[in-house]
Amino acid sequence: MNISDLRKKLDSKEISAQEIFDEYFKKAEEENKKINCFININKEYSKKRLSKENNSILSNIPGVIKDNISIKDTITTAGSRMLEKYKSPYTASVVLNLKDFMLIGKGNMDSFAFGSSTENSGFGVTKNPLDLTRVAGGSSGGVSAAIASKLALFGIGTDTGGSVRQPASFCGVVGLKPTYGLCSRFGLIAMGSSFDVPGIITQNVKDAAIVLNEIAGYDVNDSTSVNIGKKDYTGLKKINKCKVGILKFPEEGLDKEVLEGFSSSVNLLKSMGMDIVEIDMKYIKYSLSVYYVIVPSEISANMSRYDGIRFGYHPEESFSVLDDFYKESRDKFEDEVKRRIMIGTFTLSQGYYDAYYNKAMKVRNLIKQEFIDTFKDIDFLVSPTTPTLPFHIGEKTKSPLSMYLSDIFTVPANVVGYPAISIPDKKFGDLFSGLQIIAKPFEEERLLSFANMMEEKLWK
Partner 1 sequence: MSKITDEEILKIANLARIKINSDDVKKFRDSIEEILEYVDNLSEVDTSNVDPFFSLNDLSNSFREDDPRKNTDFTINDDNFISLKNGYIKVNKVL
Partner 2 sequence: MEVDLIVGLEIHVQLKTKTKMFCSCKSDYFEKNPNTNVCPVCLGLPGALPRLNRESLVQAIKVGRALNFEINEKSRFDRKNYMYPDLFKGYQITQFEFPINTNGYINLSSGKRINIYRAHLEEDTAKSLHEKDCTLLDANKAGMPLLEIVSSPELTSKEEAKEYAQKIYNIVKFIDASDCDMEKGQMRFDINVNLNIKEKEKEFRTPIVEIKNLNSFRSLERAIEYEQERQLEEFMEKRIVLEKGNKVTRGWNDTLGKTIFQRNKEESDDYRYFPDPDIPPISLDSDFINKALDKIDILPQDALDKLISEYKLPKESAEFLTEDKIFYNLFSDISKKYTNYSTLANWIITDVLGIINQSGSDINCLNKGKFVEILNAIDDKKISVQSGKEILKESILNKDFNVSENINSSLLVSDDSILDNTIKKIIDENSDLVEKYLSGKEGVLSFLIGQVLKEMKGRADPNVVKEKLLLFIKK
Does the footprint of partner 2 cover residue 348 (CB under 8 A)?
A: yes
Q: One of 59, 66, 149, 406 is an active-site residue; which one?
A: 66
Residues 174-193 that bind partner 2 (CB under 8 A): 185-190, 192-193
CA separation (Å) from 295 to 70, 87, 90, 300, 331?
A: 21, 26, 26, 9, 21
Residues 84-143 that bind partner 1 (CB under 8 A): 86-90
Contact stretch for partner 1 (CB under 8 A) within 20-28, 119-127, 148-156, 326-334: 326-334
**Of 212, 208, 241, the residue nearest 380 (C-alpha):** 241
Does the footprint of partner 1 cover residue 45 (CB under 8 A)?
A: no
Residues 159-198 that bind partner 1 (CB under 8 A): 179-181, 194
Helices (H), 318-428: 322-330, 335-348, 359-374, 400-404, 411-416
For residues 158 and 110, the answer to whether their CB atoms sit within 8 Å is no
Does the footprint of partner 1 cover residue 346 (CB under 8 A)?
A: yes
Amino acid identity of residue 113, one-letter, is: A
List the one residue from 240, 251, 350, 460 that touches partner 2 (CB under 8 A): 350
Does the footprint of partner 1 cover residue 7 (CB under 8 A)?
A: no
Minimum Å gap between C-beta 315 and partner 1 is 10
At 214, is the secondary structure helix, strand, or coil? helix
What mask of x and - would describe binding to partner 2 in positions 311 to 340, judged by CB under 8 A? x----------x---x--------------
How far is it, in rounded angstroms, from Cα 380 to Cα 457? 17
422 flagged as catalytic: no
Does the footprint of partner 2 cover residue 218 (CB under 8 A)?
A: no
Select from partner 1, partner 2, none the partner in contact with residue 404, using the beta carbon and a kind-dependent cut-off of 5 to 8 Å. Answer: partner 1
How far is it, in rounded angstroms, from Cα 93 to Cα 81? 25
66 flagged as catalytic: yes
Minimum Å gap between C-beta 331 and partner 1 is 5
How far is it, in rounded angstroms, from Cα 419 to Cα 384? 15
Does the footprint of partner 2 cover residue 460 (CB under 8 A)?
A: no
Does the footprint of partner 2 cover residue 391 (CB under 8 A)?
A: no
Contact stretch for partner 1 (CB under 8 A) within 22-30, 57-65, 300-308, 445-453: 300-308
Q: How many CB atoms lie within 10 A of CB 34?
A: 12
Residues 391-450 that bind partner 1 (CB under 8 A): 399-401, 404, 416-417, 441
In terms of Cβ atoms closer than 10 Å to its own Cβ (0-12, 13-18, 19+), residue 352 is middle
Backbone φ and ψ of 120, nearest 5°? -90, 10
List the one residue from 270, 305, 392, 457 that touches partner 2 (CB under 8 A): 305
Does the footprint of partner 1 cover residue 363 (CB under 8 A)?
A: yes
In terms of Cβ atoms closer than 10 Å to its own Cβ (0-12, 13-18, 19+), residue 150 is middle
* DSSP 8-state symbol, 272: T
Backbone φ and ψ of 175, nearest 5°? -130, 125
Does the footprint of partner 1 cover residue 305 (CB under 8 A)?
A: no
How far is it, in rounded angstroms, from Cα 313 to Cα 86? 8
Does the footprint of partner 2 cover residue 221 (CB under 8 A)?
A: yes
Q: How many residues bind partner 1 (CB under 8 A)?
A: 70
Helix (H) / strand (E) element for 26: namely: helix 17-35
Does the footprint of partner 2 cover residue 111 (CB under 8 A)?
A: no
In terms of Cβ atoms closer than 10 Å to its own Cβ (0-12, 13-18, 19+), residue 67 is buried
For residues 391 and 128, the answer to whether their CB atoms sit within 8 Å is no
Does the footprint of partner 2 cover residue 65 (CB under 8 A)?
A: no
Does the footprint of partner 2 cover residue 301 (CB under 8 A)?
A: yes
CA separation (Å) from 199 to 66, 112, 319?
A: 10, 16, 42
The shares of helix, strand and coil residues in the chain, as percent rounded to the nearest 5, are 40, 15, 45
For residues 79 and 123, the answer to whether their CB atoms sit within 8 Å is yes
Q: How many residues bind partner 2 (CB under 8 A)?
A: 45
Amino acid identity of residue 183, one-letter, is: C
206 flagged as catalytic: no
Contact stretch for partner 2 (CB under 8 A) within 27-35, 87-95, 229-237, 249-257: 87-95
Does the footprint of partner 1 cover residue 345 (CB under 8 A)?
A: yes
Contact stretch for partner 1 (CB under 8 A) within 56-64, 80-88, 184-192, 422-430: 80-88
The catalytic site residues sit at 66, 139, 163
Instruction: List interacting residues with partner 2 (CB under 8 A).
Output: 68-70, 76, 78, 83, 86, 88-90, 92, 185-190, 192-194, 220-224, 297-298, 300-301, 303-305, 307, 309-311, 322, 326, 345, 348-350, 353, 357, 361
Instruction: List interacting residues with partner 1 (CB under 8 A).
Output: 73, 86-90, 179-181, 194, 220, 223-226, 283, 286, 288-290, 292-293, 300, 307-312, 314, 318-323, 325-328, 330-331, 333, 338-339, 341-343, 345-346, 349, 355-356, 358-366, 368, 399-401, 404, 416-417, 441
